[in-house]
Structures are given as C-alpha cells and as structure tokens.
A and B are shown apart, each in its own frame.
Chain A
C-alpha cells in the first residue's frame, strides 16, 4: 500500500548513501531534502496557526457573548474565520499531507538499513535506479551504534539520542506556536493556550518515549527533522514578528488565496 512512497524514498536514501558513503549523512541529507520539499506546507501551517492566534481576543469575546448559545457561537466563529480568511482545518491538512511522507520515510529507513534476512528480502525490487544494488547492504553502524537497533540495545551513550529527540521536539514545538499575549490581571486562563502548552510538553515526551523503541536511525531522523523544522519556524517567526494582534473588528489584511466569498459578500459584489 505504501510502496509508491516507500520505494522512491528507499531509492533516494540509497542514492544519497552512494554519494556520501555514510548512512547517517544520507539520512541527514534526505531529511533536509524532504523538509525543503514540504516547506510550502510548513509555511501554510504556520500562517494558519498565527492567524488563529491573532483572532484569539475576538474569539474570546464571542465566547463570552454567546456563552449560553452554542449554535450562535459556532456561527459567529465561522463568520470570523471566513472574514479573516482562516481555514480552521488547514493546520490539519498540512499534517495529513506530511504524515504519509513521515510514515514512508520511517519505513524507508527501516528497509534501507535491512538488518535481518526478511528485511533485506523485502528490500528487493524497491530500488528504482539500476546499479544501486551494488550499495547493498548499507553500512548500518555509526560511532559504535547499530542503527537498526533501539537505543536500549546499543551502547549506553545511545540513550542520549531519545533525550535529544525530546529537546529538539520541544524546541520545534516552542517555535511553531506563536508567543501568547500576556494575560490581564484576573483574567481566566485561555483553554486553547493551556492546551497548546500541554501539547508542547506532551509531544516531546511522547516522541522521546517512541524513540526508545524505534531504531537509532529513526532517532537521527527525528533530531535532524526537528532541527531543520526549528530553523524554518525560527525564520518564519522572525519574518512575522512585525505584525501585532488584531483589534476587535479588525480584519487581517493579507489577501487569502482561494478564499470563497461569503454569501453576503457575493450579494454585495453583485449589487
């Protein structure tokens, strides 16, 4: 089912290996290339997050105004999103597109490292460029670590990798989420902000936990991907740092592509 993603990825990984002669370098190069290819999606996701953040004060007011009428609140929220050109699902869409890439990448690394007869057997037929077979088997040890085994089955210093996964995932999450505006005195904590904060804590721990059972090669992918992601988000945040939170009733001026006009707007335009 995943072959149409995995096979090109396995081929690319092996090709990079034939150039670099080092599996870790090829994982790093491969991760950089895939992060660059998915950069437009990262930008879109970041913009969506930022816009959501910007309309938070207005959303809060709407929640207070319609706290006893859920339907009205939903309608007003949708209206606010439309007026500001926000697609609440756009963050998810980006993620949905990136997930198959991530899963494909994960499996490609497993196949390319092929530690057991069954794994090597499953590698056959996946290399789309003739001549790459000569690279098989890829050297799967690095700094005394077997990249096909989890950190727990490697020398003790391999345990540093899950820790690095936690730290870099946390750094990336921090940069992904725009800074929250300071809370006024006596103001109730925002549930969304609280959830974002808990995600920033939970996700790195979760990834760190998974890294304990995944092979070391995957940890290297996580760390590289997180560092590049953090770098990308850092640049985006710097570029966006000029803009200020919107005042009530203010609409984000940035033109939104493919944004359908609301019925009201369409009628207005007709007149």
Chain B
C-alpha cells in the first residue's frame, strides 16, 4: 500500500473515530436526578429516576412489593413476589423527573418529562386509567415540583407556564385544566402558596405572583437571572425569599417590592432553607451562606471553601448542623453557628458514589412509625447508591438502596 493511500485511509479512520468519539462524549445526558416523594404514611416513598419509579421503605431502604386488590403480594408466573414498579420503557419510553404526587390513599399521579401524567395505583403500581394519559398541551418538558392547592386542585409548572389542574373523583379520577399562565421560558421551580396567591419563579428571570383562583398575574419582578429555586415564605415577617442564577438573593414583600438583597458568589440553583430567622443559601461554587433575615439579609457566615463543588440541594438544618450534599460526591455536616465542618463529625465529609443533586429528606425519630433514629435520606446520581439512609446526627450509614 503506498503512502498516499495509507494517508487517506488514516484520514478516513480518524474522522470516523472522532465523530464516533464525539457522539459518545456528548451523548444526550439524562434529564436530571431522582425525585423522591414521601407518601402520606410517612415511611414509604416513591423514587422516580430516569425511566423507573419504585416504592421503597424509608426505614430499611427495601424495595416494596406490589399488592393486589385483596391485599395479597403479587406473584409472577414462577411464584416470585413482584416489586412495585412503574417502568417507563413500557409506557412509550416515559422518563421521570418531576416528583410524583399522591392524590389519595390509593392513587398516585406520576408526571413524565414528555408532559404526560400517569395515574398509578399506589398498592399495585399498575396504571389505572386504560385510556391515554392526561397530556399537558404544548411542547417541552415537565420538570417542576407540583403544588397541591386543595383536595381538588393541583398547580404545576408547565413548559412555558404554570397550569392549574382540576381533579374530579366521580367514578374515576379525571384531570381537566382550570387555567394556564404563560411565561416566555419554562418554569422549573416549585411554587409556594400564601393565602390566595401562588408564587413561582421561571427561567424567564421573573418571580410571579398569581391568583390561585383565576390564574391572573398580580405582579412580576425581574430577578436579574434565570431562576430555578422555589420561593421561601417567611410567615413571621410576611415576606418571600427568592434566589436566581445571577447569584442574587432577594427579600420580597407580598406586594412585590424588593426589600433587601444579597449577592452570592455563584449561581443559586437550590431552594434556600429558612430556620429561626436565618436563611441558609447554597450556591453552585460550593458555598453555603447563613443570612440574617432580621437584618436585611446580612451575612452571618459563609462556609470557608471546604466544599469543592456546587451545591444544588436544599440544606437540611437541624439543631446543631446544616447538612448539604454536593456535586463533589460528598455529604457535609456544617456547624450551624460557624459554617465550619462540624467537629462532632470529626470534620470529615462522607464520601458517596455519585453526585448529590436531589433534595434530601429528613425524618425525625418516631416510635409510632417505627423510625428508630433521626433519618437523613439522600439520593445520588449513582445507581449503586441511588438512595441511602443515614443517621442524621451521627452520619452513620443505615442502609443503601441500589437499582
């Protein structure tokens, strides 16, 4: 083979390889991270991640089995128990990201990213309605967490807006649309309901105040950047705290006036936590800020460069600790007074197998519910550690749920 021919072959080979590499490198990422909904019994949860939703026991991390209408465990043809599971692959490749919504003791609404809402039997895991699932109109993705307004009304961020859904329970639960508010970009935040208004943020940089009854927009505020965090309501001071990807954190009155603000070093994606008049704000540079809400969001402390990657999760604030999970695959217990790594945890963060992006769940010790110790439930992007249960006070790992 002469050199020219070799050269051409090499070029062809390199080009093909590069294009293949290119495709592999940036193959479409998953939509997001797992969504966990704790059911009304307080000890079981639905974990929805990618194309599978499953039911687990939060005390043990065990996957729960499907139960038939007689209350008996469902068995397959070989006599093995059938796990409670909704497989999106058998539902025209449904992917799940938005947290499932418990409608009643036996009904769950499972939102799929592609705007379909599946009605699922909470005992058996079977899709209830045989007909086509309710579909939210338009194109885009269903990302945000829904808000249960009352027994019959559900508010959720729709692609380019917010939608109010009416649930009717005549013979079979039906969904119908009450109203829809249009935004110029999608709504990824959840909403907070105060009196007869719901407050949402949107990727279109706005904080919206909407009348829950009619969907009429009362006012909007420009946040200076796209916003994904759910507004936090301060019942004591009757105001909202809201953050955006510009890094700005605002205190806003219910009439739509900005009262004070604070600038974080990076994007604030996760919803802050308010506890005892202190607002704990995480940013995507790995900082946690403690802001005094009684003094115009003045800085009390900032975690001093101990966290090496972004924090998307909402901080869990306990008596002594502020617990955050990070993209650096670690779980941090910070001293609530100083923001330093807690000495009670030997100043060691806990190493995990995957990034922590899902909001964590804290369950207080409860003998009646058989929760023997304060429980911190964490979900990672790794399927080997999809959900983990820790003792919230000692950091001891109690169980791991794999997929």
Contact = CB atoms under 8 A, between A and B. Distances in A.
Interface stretch (B23-31, B55-63, B250-258, B287-295): B23-31
A208 to B, nearest CB: 12
B188 A134 contact: no
Interface string A138-164: 000000001000000000000000000
B266 A125 contact: yes
A88 B244 CA distance: 54
B357 interface: yes
Given A95-B14, A124-B266, A117 B2 contact: no
Given A117-B32, A118-B30, A121-B269, A203 B188 contact: no
A146 B203 CA distance: 17
B139 A195 contact: no
A166 interface: no
Contact of A195 (B5, B22, B26, B31): B5
A258 interface: no
B245 A77 contact: no
B246 interface: yes
B284 A199 contact: no
A73 interface: yes
A137 B185 contact: yes
Interface string B280-321: 000011000000000000000000000000101000000000
A203 B15 contact: yes
Contacts of B143: 117
Contacts of B247: 133
Contacts of A136: 203, 225-226, 245
A168 interface: no
B151 interface: no
A103 B32 contact: no
B129 interface: no
Contacts of B188: 117
Contacts of B224: 134
A217 to B, nearest CB: 12
B267 A124 contact: yes
B2 A63 contact: yes
Contacts of B368: none
B364 to A, nearest CB: 29
A63 B33 CA distance: 61
A125 B285 contact: yes
Contact of A88 (B7, B14, B32, B97): B7
Contact of B29 (A56, A118, A192, A199): A118
Interface string A97-139: 0010011001100100001111111101100000001101100
Contacts of A167: none
A133 B11 contact: no
A210 interface: yes
B203 A137 contact: yes
Interface centre among B4, B19, B225 (most CB of A within 10 A): B4
A250 B203 CA distance: 67
B8 A199 contact: yes
B173 interface: no
The bracket for how many chain A residues form the interface is 35 or more
Contacts of B310: 121, 124-125
A68 to B, nearest CB: 14
Contact of A199 (B12, B19, B23): B12
B246 A133 contact: yes
A117 B26 contact: no
B14 to A, nearest CB: 6
Nearest to A118: B29
A118 B31 contact: yes
A203 B12 CA distance: 8
A43 B4 CA distance: 19
B217 to A, nearest CB: 21
Nearest to B224: A134
A213 interface: yes
A91 interface: yes
Contact of A121 (B3, B23, B284): B284
Given A77-B3, A124-B284, A133 B14 contact: no
B10 interface: yes
B338 interface: no
Contacts of A124: 245, 266-267, 269, 284, 310
A103 B284 contact: no
For the complex of A and B, the 3 pairs showing the least CB-CB separation, nearest first, are: A117-B32, A124-B284, A192-B4
25 contacts: A2-B25, A52-B7, A59-B2, A59-B4, A88-B7, A91-B7, A92-B7, A92-B11, A99-B18, A102-B18, A103-B21, A107-B25, A116-B29, A117-B33, A117-B228, A118-B29, A134-B205, A136-B226, A191-B2, A191-B5, A195-B5, A195-B8, A206-B16, A210-B19, A214-B23
Given A2-B25, A118-B31, A137-B226, 11 more contacts: A52-B4, A81-B3, A88-B3, A89-B7, A91-B11, A116-B30, A118-B30, A119-B29, A134-B246, A199-B12, A206-B19
Interface of B: 2-5, 7-12, 14-16, 18-19, 21-23, 25-26, 29-33, 97, 139, 141, 143, 185, 188, 203, 205, 224-226, 228, 245-247, 266-267, 269, 284-285, 310, 312, 357
Interface of A: 2, 52, 56, 59, 63, 73-74, 77, 81, 88-89, 91-92, 95-96, 99, 102-103, 106-107, 110, 115-122, 124-125, 133-134, 136-137, 146, 191-192, 195-196, 199, 202-203, 206-207, 210, 213-214
